[in-house]
Amino acid sequence: MTRLGSFRPELYLLDMGTRPESKLCLTSPKVDVLFLRELGGIILNRLSIFLILSAALGTLNSVSSFAQSPTQDLPAVVIAAERSANFTEEEKSATTNNITIDQKIIQASMAENLSELLTELGFATEAAPTDYDENVALMRGFGTEHLNTEVNGNLLILINGRRSGIASTRQIVLDNVERVEIIRGPEMYKYSMGSPGGVINVITRRGGPSQLSGTVKFGAGSYKAWKSGLSLNGLTNNFDYNLGYTHSATDDDYKDGDGRKVHNTKTEGTDNVFLNIGYTFNNTHRIGLDAFYYRVDKAHQPSYRDDDGDVQAASYANRESKMLTLTYEGSTDDRQWSWNSSVGYSNDLHEIFNTMRYPRVQEVKTKLAKAGLSYSGDTFDMNGGVDFVSYDVQNAANSNTLFYQNTNWRMTKHDTSSSYIFGAYLTGKLKLIEDKLNISGGVRFERAGAKDKSVGDEDWARYPYFNSQGITRRDQLPAKRSFSGLSPSLGVSYQPVEWLNLRANYTKGWRAPSGRQLFASFRTEGYGAGGDPRLKPEKTDSYEIGFDIKVDHFNLSGTYFFEDIRDFIYIYYYANPTPQNPNGTGRVMRNVDKRYQAGFEAQTSVNVAGLMGYDKFSLTPYLNLTHMTKKEEQIKKGGPGLDGWWWPITRMPDTVMNFGLRFAHFDWHFTANLNFVYNGLRLPGRGNAGPNEHYNDIEFGKTTVVNLILTKRLWEFANNSSLNLKVNLINIFDKVYSYRDKIPDTYAYPGRNFYATVSYNF
């Protein structure tokens, strides 16, 4: 009997046509002649790189025969504190709407990075069309924060269950990703209580089970875009390894949906290096090393209009991210007790160069450490642990060029602020009535602090917002702050019949303000507004109720969520009326008295072919939907002028929807995915309208982008290696759209384009 508890509504599930009984397939798809001609021309231009990869492949085939000993399987060291949403037949019914984006989904996607994957699968994003800028993910109204500093945001991105120090989803390339988990409820407390919208946990691959395998690939497409890569994976004498390198570039400016060239949109080069190695001893202990490196060389950006309405000149950005983590995992022989620990370091550098006199630079250095202990039994599970993370931020210059031209303030990179978070957690699950009733709970304590490392550059004396409150000198406000909070979570799930699971959950969130939000200077950091050392921590009460249905080839999941938030922190306009300017406003960091976010999520799919009794192919329509029913906030209850208003929440679309039709023929090793991505109306990130403006003048969205993804195994060789083709047809109907702002205030995404990848798997 299949447990319903093993079912979590996946965004979509696509059989890639790899059934063990499938025969050798030598057929090839029909491809348009013009498409082949354009693709061939690009490949010839990059022939030298292809020859280098071919030489490397020949060497690898020789190396694959070096070991005569039989292949060893790495013992399955299951660390419960790191498993989170990896749902298997052994997992019981969950109490929250957790989602796993598995390897089949990733392979069937056209995405190259996490930002593109989330966008394609129907999650809201604030995404840039090039590597120039950071990309923000949004869930249930919460988001990762801009400027690539994860401590600023209330949606957290993890890599292998650990903070990465990286907040831009575009920097996480999918070449080394095994799956992506979205975690909510008590499980989230293993990592944070400051991410009420959920935790995005990116799990990278490990080596094995074969002695040596790998992939060589080359891709090319519109606007002279191309990518080449090599990866190796294996397991020998309890030593497992997974490593690789990719390089990509876009050598021409793209055109938007109206056929107009968007100038200055090239990317001269992007490099990604990944490494995950480990050694297992005594069958249940593993020491490992994770490494990640991402570099962008001159990603160009067109001229655009910024949040102040000023036109910024064309520019380019360099970006460099690196992370190194040492891990240890172990368990008892019966796997009931398991433990883990890790220590790591990451560095994220972002440089922007344009016609300004001085470049804008931000560098964030992150140090982290964590340890956990878990017990898994027949009647209950328990997890406990501690973690620590610190962030040091350095900045140089900003967009306020005129200020630097007329002052002697520091323009070189210098320390601006630091933040730290210490956390301790205890979570558990009680399994009752033969696992049909599950009660889960957790508690987490955090202590956080921040320090101003550039005291005096804030120039609050020039801010009417502070002057009106009697703040005229820096020494009137603190230069460091500390906070502490304790949060509980409780959930329950019940399976009245085999095909139905009912669930409910309550989680209390708490997040301290970061050093940037407390002490930032608009002049020397370019944060968009000055910090406020008097900010209070955010507090969130999250409620969730839902159901899951799984009947043969049909899945349906529905969830209603409600978020009651107090003291939400963001950059807001403030009222500054004077006799000369009764409608005067400005921007500062503010706490919001009240903020409400509510809505429902739904995921469903049905394999029509399976229902009709066909087993050689699948035909599956699917739908994933998030609809916000409430998005409003009041900055200061009873406040004067604009402060007393209820404002609509910016950034999060009212509706985000991913739907389409998937086809897979197992004997042909062929798949097709016709994918529709709809984003409803939204307001830009700082789009608070003034008293003489209207929201419909600045809202944007309500766009549907259609993509087609095709995969085909071209050839399968006797040694189980294969040659494969993947073709992405993007924005088929030439839609003019943006996920950042209203056009023409920003530049549009590319119009219709294609990308094809040929890979050799061995």
Tell me, what's the pLDDT at 44?
36
Task: Quote the strand ranges of 282-397, DSSP E.
Answer: 285-301, 304-305, 311-312, 315-331, 337-353, 360-376, 380-396
Tell me, what's the pLDDT at 608?
97
- pLDDT tens by residue, 238-267: 999 999 999 999 999 999 999 999 999 999
Tell me, what's the pLDDT at 259?
94
Average pLDDT over the chain reads 82
Q: Do 135 and 121 form a contact (C-beta atoms < 8 A)?
A: no
660 in helix, strand or coil? strand
Q: Which of 124-138, 281-295, 540-554 has the weakest average pLDDT?
A: 124-138
- pLDDT tens by residue, 552-594: 999 999 999 999 999 999 887 766 555 545 555 667 888 999 9
Residue 452, pLDDT above cutoff 50: yes
Tell me, what's the pLDDT at 467?
80
- pLDDT tens by residue, 398-441: 545 445 555 555 567 889 999 999 999 999 999 999 889 999 99
CA–CA separation, 270 vs 298, rounded Å?
9
DSSP state of 59: H
Residue 16, pLDDT above cutoff 50: no
Q: For the chain, what percent of residues have pLDDT higher than 90?
A: 59
Which is more confident, 380 or 53? 380
Binned at pLDDT 50, 70 and 90, residue 714 comes out as very high
Tell me, what's the pLDDT at 147?
64
Residue 524, pLDDT above cutoff 50: yes
Tell me, what's the pLDDT at 745?
80
State the average pLDDT over residues 462-468.
76
- pLDDT tens by residue, 625-646: 999 999 998 888 777 666 777 8
Binned at pLDDT 50, 70 and 90, residue 9 comes out as very low
Token code pair at residue 251: 């050598």
State the average pLDDT over residues 438-450.
97
List the domain range (segments joined by +) for residue 430.
4-761
CA–CA separation, 433 vs 379, rounded Å?
10
- pLDDT tens by residue, 321-343: 999 999 999 999 999 999 999 99
How many domains are contained in the chain?
A: 1
- pLDDT tens by residue, 29-58: 333 333 334 334 433 343 333 333 333 333
State the average pLDDT over residues 617-626.
96
Q: Considering only CA atoms, which of 349, 279, 274, 337 is closest in space to residue 80?
A: 337
Tell me, what's the pLDDT at 686?
60
Tell me, what's the pLDDT at 587?
75
Tell me, what's the pLDDT at 353?
84
Residue 691, pLDDT above cutoff 70: no
Q: Do 705 and 734 form a contact (C-beta atoms < 8 A)?
A: no
End-to-end CA distance of the chain: 37
Write the burial class of residue 24 (CB in 10 Å: 0-12 exposed, 13-18 middle, 19+ buried): exposed
- Give the CA angle between residues 15, 21, 25 to the nearest 5°: 80
What CATH number did the domain enclosing 582 receive? 2.40.170.20
Residue 759, C-beta contacts closer than 8 angstroms, at least 6 positions apart = 215, 216, 217, 218, 723, 724, 726
Tell me, what's the pLDDT at 56?
37
Q: Do 731 and 232 form a contact (C-beta atoms < 8 A)?
A: no
Q: Do 343 and 91 form a contact (C-beta atoms < 8 A)?
A: no
- Using DSSP bridges, classify how beta strands 199-204 and 156-159 pair: parallel, antiparallel or unpaired: parallel
Residue 329, C-beta contacts closer than 8 angstroms, at least 6 positions apart = 77, 79, 82, 285, 286, 288, 338, 339, 340
Binned at pLDDT 50, 70 and 90, residue 25 comes out as very low
- pLDDT tens by residue, 338-378: 999 999 999 999 888 876 556 788 899 999 999 999 999 99
Tell me, what's the pLDDT at 284?
95
- pLDDT tens by residue, 178-204: 999 999 988 999 999 999 888 999 999
CA–CA separation, 254 vs 549, rounded Å?
44
Binned at pLDDT 50, 70 and 90, residue 310 comes out as low
pTM of the model: 0.84
- pLDDT tens by residue, 68-94: 333 333 223 222 222 222 323 334 457
Token code pair at residue 761: 């798997």
State the average pLDDT over residues 723-741.
95
**CA distance readout (Å), 653 to 390, 685, 744:** 32, 11, 19
3-state secondary structure 596-638: EEEEEEEEEEECHHHHCCCCCEEEEEEEEEEEEEEEEEECCCC
